[in-house]
Amino acid sequence: MALKKASSRALSTCTTEAKPAFRYLTAWFCPFAHRATLALEHHASGVDYEWVEALGWEQREDKSNVTGTGKEWWYHWKADELKRVNPSALE
In this prediction, what percent of the chain has a pLDDT beyond 90?
14
What tens digit of pLDDT does each residue of 66-79 get?
888 877 888 888 88
What gap in Å lies between CA 11 and CA 49, rounded to an integer? 25
What gap in Å lies between CA 70 and CA 62, rounded to an integer? 5
What tens digit of pLDDT does each residue of 29-66 get?
889 999 999 999 999 888 899 888 888 888 888 888 88
What gap in Å lies between CA 58 and CA 48, rounded to an integer? 29
Binned at pLDDT 50, 70 and 90, residue 90 comes out as low
Nearest-5° Cα angle at 77, 31 to 59:
105
Give the CA count within 13 Å in the CB-facing half-sphere of 7: 3
